[in-house]
Structure formats: C-alpha cells, structure tokens
C-alpha cells in the first residue's frame, strides 16, 4: 500500500466510523521503522490498522567463527532512501484481552 492510499483510507474511516485513537510511533531498530496506526469501531468490532514503513534491506552479512562454541551474528545494510510499506490489520479479542492479527487470506 502506498502512503497516498493510506491517507485516503484514513479519510474514509473517519467519514464512515468514529476514530477512537490515532497516532505515530518511531522505532530506531531495523534501520528506523515508522508505524502509523488508527483504532476504530467497525462492523467486525474494534479494529486497529497499522501502516508500517521501513527501509529496504540491501545486504545481509553473517559474521561467524570456526571455533566451537562461538556465536554468529547477522548484520543488515539498509537503504537510505528506498522504503517498503505494508498494512497490518488487528481485531480486538475480548477473550485474550489483546489485539489479534487478521489473516488477509480469510478475505478471499
């Protein structure tokens, strides 16, 4: 999903439903991840949509040693200007008292 479509979706949600909470979050891990979210009451109940933007992974470097018991670690190289976007939907579960991710395959 592109940022323009995300903004149109937010406008549609605001028009059709009442937005309970809306905000942005920035996480410095993984090259800098930006998460925009909106929580609203829809026909399926309480729903949370997240628009996740993060940099494209350009390279993956694995550092390891041949010694027994040594650790290996993976280093990622992130793009400065290329970003990926994805939309994640959650539904509120009263039994778990937490958000449960909605599987997109259920909509086919």
Sequence spans of domains, the chain: 3-103
pTM of the entire predicted model: 0.79
Could you identify the residue written with the tokens 């009451």?
A: 41
Both structure tokens of 6: 């995300």
pLDDT for 56-99, tens place per residue? 999 998 887 777 777 888 888 989 899 999 999 999 988 888 99
What's the order of all strands across the beta sheet hosting 19-27?
A: 19-27, 33-42, 45-63, 73-93, 98-101
């Amino acid at each position: 999903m592109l940022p323009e479509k995300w903004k149109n979706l937010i406008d549609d949600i605001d028009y059709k439903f009442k937005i309970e909470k809306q905000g942005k979050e920035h996480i410095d891990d993984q090259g800098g991840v930006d998460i925009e979210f909106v929580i609203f009451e829809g026909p399926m109940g309480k729903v949370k949509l997240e628009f996740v933007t993060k940099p494209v992974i350009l390279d993956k470097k694995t550092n390891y040693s041949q010694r027994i018991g040594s650790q290996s670690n993976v280093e990622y190289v992130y793009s400065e200007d290329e970003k990926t976007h994805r939309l994640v939907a959650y539904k509120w579960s009263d039994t778990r008292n937490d958000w449960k991710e909605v599987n997109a395959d259920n909509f086919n």
